[in-house]
Each structure stands twice: as C-alpha cells, then as structure tokens.
C-alpha cells in the first residue's frame, strides 16, 4: 500500500507491503487482505497519514493498467504499477482512475520517506 501524509495521493510518504491473498494465479492477480487493509487504515489514521493508493507488479508485461486493474480500481487512489521483465525491473508508471471516462490517467507522483 501507498501511504500519504498530505491531502494529495500524489505525495507518497511511506510504502507498506501487504500479503497477496488472491485465490487466482498470484503471478497475474493480487488482492490485499481486507483485515490487513483495515488494520493499516486504523494505524495510519492515528498517525495522521492515510492510505492513498496501491502498488503491484506486472511480470513480463508493460506497466500500464490492465483491463482487470480497471475493473477493480477505486476512485481517488494512486496506482503504481511496476513492470518486471525476465525477473528484473524495467519501468514503473503511476495512474489514477477516472470513473466517468472508465479509464486510468497517467500521473506524476513524488515519494519522500518520512
């Protein structure tokens, strides 16, 4: 998960890895454990930060959102997708879902460890 300290999801302050609990092929799908999401949400609220997005990888595929990503996207959250080719980092992209257009818009975000 991506955690933000300000009012904008475009300034990421912390990255928090989560367990992938999907029942589908975990190399092609991801699902954040709902109980872990709730626990992180409670902790971050107490710390004055919040969940502002998610990150995941696309093994041997571009870092652009897939059709599946579009189906599961939440408005107002930042999605960082990392392309891994032959087991190595290739590129990353950041996106925000626009529900009216039913598509992602590429964005530039800032990461600064707090």
pLDDT in tens, 11-62: 788 889 999 999 999 888 999 999 999 999 999 889 888 898 999 999 999 9
For the chain, the structural domain boundaries read 2-111
Contacts (Cβ under 8 Å, ≥6 apart) of 60 = 84, 85, 86
CATH number attached to the domain at 2-111: 3.40.140.10
- Kindly report the pTM of this predicted structure: 0.86
């Amino acid at each position: 998960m991506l955690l933000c300290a300000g009012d904008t999801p475009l300034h990421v302050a912390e990255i928090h890895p989560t367990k992938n609990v999907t029942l589908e092929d975990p190399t092609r799908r991801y699902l954040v454990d709902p109980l872990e999401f709730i626990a992180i949400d409670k902790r971050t609220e107490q710390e004055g930060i919040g969940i502002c997005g998610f990150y995941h990888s696309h093994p041997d595929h571009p870092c652009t959102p897939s059709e599946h990503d579009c189906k599961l996207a939440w408005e107002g959250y930042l999605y960082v997708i990392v392309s891994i080719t032959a087991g190595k980092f290739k590129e990353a992209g950041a996106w925000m879902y626009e529900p009216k257009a039913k598509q992602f818009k590429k964005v530039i975000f800032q990461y600064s460890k707090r």
